[in-house]
Structure 1
Amino acid sequence: MPGPTESTNPARQLPAIPLAIVGGLLLVNAVPFGTSMFTDTGTPYSVSSQTSLHLAHYVVWTACLVALGQLYPRIRGVGWAGIVAAVGVCLDACARFAEAFFVPYLGREVPALLDSPPDAGLLVPLLGSGVVAMIGTATLAVVAWRRRVFPRPAAALLLVGAVIVPVLGPVSNVFIGTALLWAGVAARRPAPAASRATVAVTVH
């Protein structure tokens, strides 16, 4: 139970440093790597999936999603939305893991499968996990906005990133990464002098 010296401001109750680190990794992973792969329409996917860039991008993305699955439930003030978002990103992590390790195998053995319109057996699980991640992250963003757990511009960026996940894939991490980095950094800023006189900021 919070004592009298603990902050009651939900924006100060974030796992700030881990959120900022994961957000920064998502952003760095998305800007030079994810967007370039997404916009490269001239190279067959069966070829690009064999590259070390493809592997590194999806391994980092998977690791970040797994980390968010642990961090989202620790955000105070969002309640059940943190659990919903955690379920979404964990399911999405499974899809990104498959893209990191299973898709390159398909590119070597059955390249036509990757270079032709996707089969329902591949498309449904990938899109399904993306939709669940979209719903979970969007829910978290709306709750974080309403309860001011995140700075409102950061919550808005998180919502935009969530909505475009199923369509733009890695490009969405430009928005999501920026939002999480912003929220984490904001939570580490010193409290106003008037607040410091009465409460102690606690960030875990």
Structure 2
Amino acid sequence: MESLNNESLKKYIVISYQDNNIKEEELKIEDFIQNTSIPYIIVRPSHIYGDKSKTSKEAYFFHKIEKSIPIIIPKNSNLKAQFIYIDDFVKVLFSLLKTIHIKEVYNVTNPQLISLEEFIKTCSEIIGKEANINYTDSNIIDTDIKQIFGGNYLDIDKIIYHGLYIPNILLNNGIEILYSWYKRT
């Protein structure tokens, strides 16, 4: 990064994903960039999902619902998440390339805040089969569930204020596209 030519560099975009395993390293990168003259934009997306992803966390739910395998969740869970469909994310990135705003940090997500139960219900409706949900008194959450529903609420007021592309693919539409692709693979 020290060797970047600031004269020819128009904009440096850093995508800072919320996965806890890499968060510390990304904070170091953000700190480095913010203390230079590099014309940066830092993007903090919520959970990105979409078709053509072999590592789709949503496949975990599809498989369990299709096979009637119990999905175990805490009884009084208040687990919520935000999602952004990959096509929306790409459109936001393209709008960032065109913006005049630099040295900014943007939260990027669809503004829908979805509970774990709403998410499972949406998947069930699209699959056409009721999910087998088992509620537990335990606060232990499956890793695949925690990776999606362990984040924070992201405010997108800045992307709206700066006139950037606003993600608009709702969860049910995105899951429908993803599940259709999942069935073909």
Q: TM-score range by the shorter chain?
A: 0.3 to 0.5
The structure carrying a bigger strand percent of its residues is 2
The structure carrying a bigger helix percent of its residues is 1
TM-score scaled to structure 2, two decimals?
0.34
Q: Higher RCO, 1 or 2 (CA under 8 Å, sep at least 6)?
A: 1
